[in-house]
Amino acid sequence: MVNFFYLDYQPDKTAEYYCDKHVNKILVEICQILCNVIHNNTNLVAPYKKCKNISLDLAPYKWATESKDNYMYLLNLANELLKEYKYRYDKTKHKSEVVIEWLYKHIPDFFEKRKRTKLLFTKNIDIFAYYIKNDVECSRYIYVVYKCKQDKWTKRGKPFWFDDYKNIADRKQKKYKRKLLRMVKETLPEKYKNEKKVKVKRFHSFLRIIYDNLFEQKWDRYIKQYKNMYDVNKPLIDQLSFIHLKRAYKISKKLLLLNELIKLNDNSLEWRGELKLE
């Protein structure tokens, strides 16, 4: 998925904070996004051909078109990543350099807004923005949780904030995982063990209801779409971020109400094609 990470309000600092694997990757992807903006909104012919993987609904693309400052942030970030690429790898050239030069010479003027707008997140991570309102803080948590694992920063070192965010995320993940497991293994089974209206009794069934309603579809089908985030062969509860677990725990508390349990279980069964209408 074409994307970028908004790790600082200043593009030069953001570029420095990217781990090695993202410096080149996102440099190219930003150029692709901006060239698509040109193709779709002007009569100019941008250096990169129109990328089919970038839809009009893709969050980074939509954000780039919302205001001139958004667009310029991405263009400046691409330029800073070009500098970062040369610095980290002792290079003098990159194929995207001519693209960046062209983009600076052909800045579009179709924007209705000028100032930078609220960041838009892709659907697989927009749950973070629901709980964390600051765009930089939100992006940093996403970065430490899902995007950088055992990575390195050649000639830079790890960002000064990285470990603090990671430690907080890990601590909260353990807290919500513990709460969720207690709810599905102890509280809910105990509450409904003698309830004849409820067929759901085992903790795996409660988790199924929670996961399906968390993703608003059959959960195992959902995670297969994001192989860079989830491993289908590992327990999902061990892979969910603290934000997802927070939402999951909130859903689990709804199951304490009989009518909510029935409703959310029906949602789950309908998504799975197993709902039997009476």
What pLDDT, in 10s, does the model give residues 152-184?
A: 999 999 999 999 999 999 999 999 999 999 999
Question: Integer distance in angstroms from the first to the last C-alpha of the chain?
Answer: 42
Query: 12 pLDDT exceeds 70?
Result: yes
DSSP state of 255: T
pLDDT in tens, 65-88: 999 999 999 999 999 999 999 999
Q: What is the pLDDT of residue 234?
A: 95
Rounded Cα gap, residues 149 and 36, in angstroms: 30
Q: Which tokens sit at 64?
A: 């780039």
Q: Which tokens sit at 200?
A: 């759901």
Mean pLDDT of 21-43: 97
Q: What is the pLDDT of residue 275?
A: 82
Query: 2 pLDDT exceeds 90?
Result: no
Helix (H, G, I), strand (E, B) or coil at 240: coil
Q: What is the pLDDT of residue 148?
A: 87
Residue 11 — very low, low, confident or very high, per pLDDT cuts 50/70/90? very high
Please state, rounded to an integer, the average pLDDT across all residues of the chain.
Answer: 96
Q: What is the pLDDT of residue 1?
A: 67
Rounded Cα gap, residues 41 and 126, in angstroms: 26
Query: 149 pLDDT exceeds 90?
Result: no
| Residue at 74: amino acid letter | L
Q: What is the pLDDT of residue 117?
A: 98
CA 181 to chain centre: 25
Query: 277 pLDDT exceeds 70?
Result: no
Q: What is the pLDDT of residue 150?
A: 81
Mean pLDDT of 192-205: 92
Q: Compute the CA torsion angle 196, 219, 231, 168 (nearest 10 deg).
A: -90
Query: 214 pLDDT exceeds 70?
Result: yes
Rounded Cα gap, residues 141 and 253, in angstroms: 25
Length, in residues, of the chain: 278
Domain boundaries, the chain: 11-160, 165-271
Entry pTM: 0.94
